[in-house]
Structure 1
């Protein structure tokens, strides 16, 4: 699948991948700083942004999309940065193109299966909006409030609702949500991998550490206190400090 992407700068390439319901702009706060020292490639994953839609939504397929892009751009010595779902795509790529990757950074995600996530209420709210064929933004926002979504989350989602339609493939994301939460254990990868978690998030917990180190024995785990799941947006400077310090080692 030919993905939509934005490429800036030169030098060593860094490829940035957004989380569920996002787009390539979601990691702008990191890319704006990184582009001074790296070539940045921001990508719309399948069923998101301006990339093509597909009924298939799993990490193997999403990683194959990125691998195709990397080969097409002839990328080497590549640094991967992914948030949440994008982080799992980055981790899956350790199995597909290890020879092209120098480092991986997974932001607030672990290589494990999640049974309940903060996106579960979002999925239920979206399903109701689609079932009721809602196209009025105020009505959609009210349904989301009924499902317990806070205002920042509602505003984030409504950025992807334009001309009475969702820019992401809501139907497939709802149907494939179990695959998005899932994870198939992979062979141990020697690629240096940084896991950056939010101190107020449950996505990287102590009980995930064995799975992290079993699959990524050269892993480092940094926790940013006072941050939630969107740690890169809430504590951008701290995330960049962790990244630069790790890459310099």
Structure 2
């Protein structure tokens, strides 16, 4: 039976999630910045044949509530509260990009909850502010709510050259009360605390459990220079490179991503 989140830490928000049900140890999936559980739909369809999968919308994303504070300790508390509410004492945990930092934080703060950790294309380091064009594009759409996705794409193209990035952001557009498209993400809250998103994960010490770090060969998020930081936080991590993938490696190389995940999760 699902327990209420009432009485837990005041700033915890009740996260929207998709739960496939099923037996065995669940796989919990955390998306990256401006992503959602919906981005993992095709992977979830494959994983659910073997196990229970829970794909989560982190705060200010997808269908989850908007709330101030994007610190990784805060987001990890949200996820742990969800696990508590679902009576999940132990899980395998996968996080991509920002979600990977949430996953590392949760694993460091509550290692008994995480049996195996998968971190997709992010390192436990601070990054430069790299989303200025995205914020400008999203604010422009907000200022001129478009009637359709083609109009939204034209607005975003004034700031973002890459069609794939615009298409990814457009997954966050929904119909508002006047039938025009609006952002469903908590843009104010994300931009207000963006410094926490580019910061290092929270937590002290290392996660000593088995870990897999998947990185894209065409991405610079997990450079060789970042590997000592990975080893310090995840001393048992195996680092695997998907040569033909960029930062969105699960979307760009889905079969290779699935294969790497399957090998790791099968190696009990």
TM interval, shorter chain, is over 0.9
* Aligned match for 2:259, one of 236, 241, 246: 241
* Offset, 1:12: 1.4
In the other structure, the counterpart of 1:147 is 159
TM-score w.r.t. structure 1 length? 0.93
2 CA distance for matches of 1:34 and 1:45? 20
Show structure 1 runs of 4+ deviating over 3 A: 127-130, 137-140
In the other structure, the counterpart of 2:145 is 135
Answering whether residue 197 of structure 2 is matched by residue 180 of structure 1, we say yes
2 CA distance for matches of 1:149 and 1:98? 41
Answering whether residue 184 of structure 2 is matched by residue 171 of structure 1, we say no
> What does residue range 73-112 of structure 1 map to in structure 2 within 5 Å?
73-112=86-125
* Offset, 1:146: 2.3
Instruction: State how many pairs are aligned.
Output: 246
2 CA distance for matches of 1:243 and 1:184? 23
The alpha-carbon distance between structure 1 residues 7 and 184, as it changes in their structure 2 partners (threshold 3 A), is: closer
- Is contact 1:77-1:101 (8 Å) kept? yes
> What does residue range 1-249 of structure 1 map to in structure 2 within 5 Å?
1-8=13-20, 9-117=22-130, 119-130=131-142, 133-136=143-146, 137-138=149-150, 140-163=152-175, 164-184=181-201, 186-249=204-267
* Offset, 1:83: 0.9
The alpha-carbon distance between structure 1 residues 139 and 171, as it changes in their structure 2 partners (threshold 3 A), is: farther
Unpaired segments of 5 or more residues in structure 1? none
1 CA distance for matches of 2:92 and 2:226? 23
- Is contact 1:17-1:86 (8 Å) kept? yes
- Is contact 2:140-2:156 (8 Å) kept? no
Q: Deviations over 1:101-152 (max 9, x none)?
A: 10110111111111144x342123223444xx11015554334222233112
Unpaired segments of 5 or more residues in structure 2? 1-12, 176-180
Give the 3-state SS of the residue equivalent to 1:50 in structure 2: coil
- Is contact 1:127-1:174 (8 Å) kept? no
> Which stretch of the first structure deviates more once superposed, 156-165 or 102-111?
156-165
TM-score w.r.t. structure 2 length? 0.87
In the other structure, the counterpart of 2:8 is none
- Is contact 2:101-2:201 (8 Å) kept? no
- Alignment RMSD: 1.6
Q: Deviations over 1:37-74 (max 9, x none)?
A: 11100111001111111011121111000000111112
1 CA distance for matches of 2:26 and 2:266? 15
Give the 3-state SS of the residue equivalent to 1:109 in structure 2: coil
